[in-house]
Structure 1
């Protein structure tokens, strides 16, 4: 889908030719959308397609016609009742006269971020556009990390009460989410720090000039990003230790059950052995006695009780 915004965030239905000063937004674009956007912005289609690669890492690519900045943004996948956290690349393409944003996946949070950025004062200005997107993407990371922190505490309570496969699977999903966030935040940090320190060349013809307010936004974003990196690292260690502890608990429970079952098997083996012997069709002691059944029963009880006492003494029961 392609949407073209003019100054004042007005949607242009069918602009003719080059759309100078426009913001071209590509979300889940088709091939014809990419071709149209490349023609309107006068850029090579390859630059737009680079940002559509789901495995693209944050980077900066400066071309004669445009400059591409790729960052990774949070993405929520709704799978039934469960939410899965991941990241997707988003490309911000700066030309001499346009801004083009492109993302392979439609995400409600990302759409909201771009809408806020466009609506902000000087939102169509390239410097402020980049600052606003970076700021709100970072805030979204922090929001999701706080959600993950709450979910970790919740799943720990559930596992403490009764460990289940669903809880362990949910723990695995959280571990994957934290890993994705940690990798994305580290790469975003490198790109944003480089832009804040050295600026950003556009089309090899000029460099974006960031004001003090813009640099303050970058500084705040970098502080949040580095806090997010620290949080994701801590969460990763917590999730690893939690998973290891509950794996050990489950293994210990299985061992306890097997020990009890083995002890019961040994206890039942004694009367089974004695009664089996007296079921044989051969001459046996006491077989002519009047109280043979009672004697055999008492002997079985005594021997079985001795086995039980022995197992309890050795803490096997």
Structure 2
């Protein structure tokens, strides 16, 4: 969950000198946690940024330290809904030392962090960073796969029901895909900057992994763009189909009203309380009935030939 900032967040003292290397992870850190982790008081603003769920992807170098934020896809608050959001991961890269910061645990990263905690010795910081980028790309691929499956399921449902609930579900999917597009643009730009870091270029295996992750992020962005376009096109198509069905229904009702209008008119005319021609004869009823049925049948055949009914 989002963590509010303590009132004494500016009361941090200078942090002790961090260890030469290693990995550490902080989840929703408080100022005391930040200090115990060996982070400088001046860098507390970075932790505050990560606590903001709307924080965008970016990279900034400050001397020997590199501050990075990346946006990971997460399911919305309603587990049954097809809505997705983004949550930031903060990374502080300082030589062979790397620190990751989260406002709350993220499902795509939890297995990786659990594995890291059980290692006897931490890998190189650039290797950890490359692995995180690979997980980032894979998490978007998995999320896009689920959203694409949701689009197909919703399409089949709309074919049967065309209910407002299904339209709202498709709208939520389209909004999630649009958010993915925006987040992926920021992640791609940040990943490209990461690949240009001297620390990365000096480590060929890590550089190759990051280049691969960058390519996968670009592919994910293209897929998100295509899926978003597909969702929008489906909404437009079904909205047009619903409007067409409404127009067709109104046309059928109008045609049926015209068919039954003629016998109703004749029955009304010969039902008024006044003197009418041939009202004393026995055959006038059959003449009026036959005339009404004939005209109505003729109109029905004409409208049927035109495909209106």
TM-score over 0.5 for the alignment?
yes
Partner SS for 1:234: helix
CA offset at residue 37 of structure 1?
2.6
| Deviating more after overlay: 303-312 vs 46-55 | 303-312
Describe the shift of the 1:178–1:35 C-alpha distance in structure 2 as closer, same or farther (beyond 3 A): same
Partner SS for 2:221: helix
CA offset at residue 210 of structure 1?
4.5
Matches within 5 A, 1:41-52: 41-44=39-42, 45-52=44-51
The match for 1:59 is 58
Preserved contact between residue 117 and residue 133 of structure 1 (Cα < 8 Å): no
Preserved contact between residue 126 and residue 208 of structure 1 (Cα < 8 Å): no
The match for 1:310 among 265, 284, 302 is: 302
| Deviating more after overlay: 101-110 vs 130-139 | 101-110
Taking the aligned partners of 1:138 and 1:310, their CA distance within structure 2 comes to 62
- Report whether the alignment pairs 1:290 with 2:282: yes
Matches within 5 A, 1:111-260: 111-119=110-118, 123=122, 125-199=124-198, 210-260=202-252
Taking the aligned partners of 1:208 and 1:223, their CA distance within structure 2 comes to 16
Identify unmatched segments of 5+ residues in structure 1.
2-16, 200-206
The match for 1:272 among 246, 252, 264 is: 264
CA offset at residue 264 of structure 1?
0.8
Identify unmatched segments of 5+ residues in structure 2.
2-14
- TM-score (structure 1 length as normaliser): 0.80
- TM-score (structure 2 length as normaliser): 0.82
Preserved contact between residue 171 and residue 239 of structure 1 (Cα < 8 Å): yes
CA offset at residue 260 of structure 1?
0.4
Query: For 1:207-266, what per-residue CA distance to the aligned partner results, in whole angstroms no more than 9, with x for missing partners?
Result: 677411211211121121111112112212222222222222222111111110111111
The match for 1:39 is 35
Preserved contact between residue 91 and residue 99 of structure 2 (Cα < 8 Å): yes
Preserved contact between residue 43 and residue 65 of structure 1 (Cα < 8 Å): no
Preserved contact between residue 91 and residue 102 of structure 1 (Cα < 8 Å): yes
The match for 2:25 is 25
Partner SS for 1:287: coil
Query: For 1:273-308, what per-residue CA distance to the aligned partner results, in whole angstroms no more than 9, with x for missing partners?
Result: 111122211111222122433332222212222222
Describe the shift of the 1:19–1:97 C-alpha distance in structure 2 as closer, same or farther (beyond 3 A): farther
The match for 1:12 is none
Describe the shift of the 1:123–1:217 C-alpha distance in structure 2 as closer, same or farther (beyond 3 A): farther
CA offset at residue 59 of structure 1?
0.7
Taking the aligned partners of 2:122 and 2:192, their CA distance within structure 1 comes to 21
Taking the aligned partners of 2:120 and 2:233, their CA distance within structure 1 comes to 47
| Deviating more after overlay: 102-111 vs 141-150 | 102-111
Taking the aligned partners of 1:100 and 1:156, their CA distance within structure 2 comes to 44
Query: For 1:169-224, what per-residue CA distance to the aligned partner results, in whole angstroms no more than 9, with x for missing partners?
Result: 2222221222122222221111111121233xxxxxxx677411211211121121
CA offset at residue 89 of structure 1?
1.5
Query: For 1:27-72, what per-residue CA distance to the aligned partner results, in whole angstroms no more than 9, with x for missing partners?
Result: 3x2xxx4211332222332121012222221112334695321110
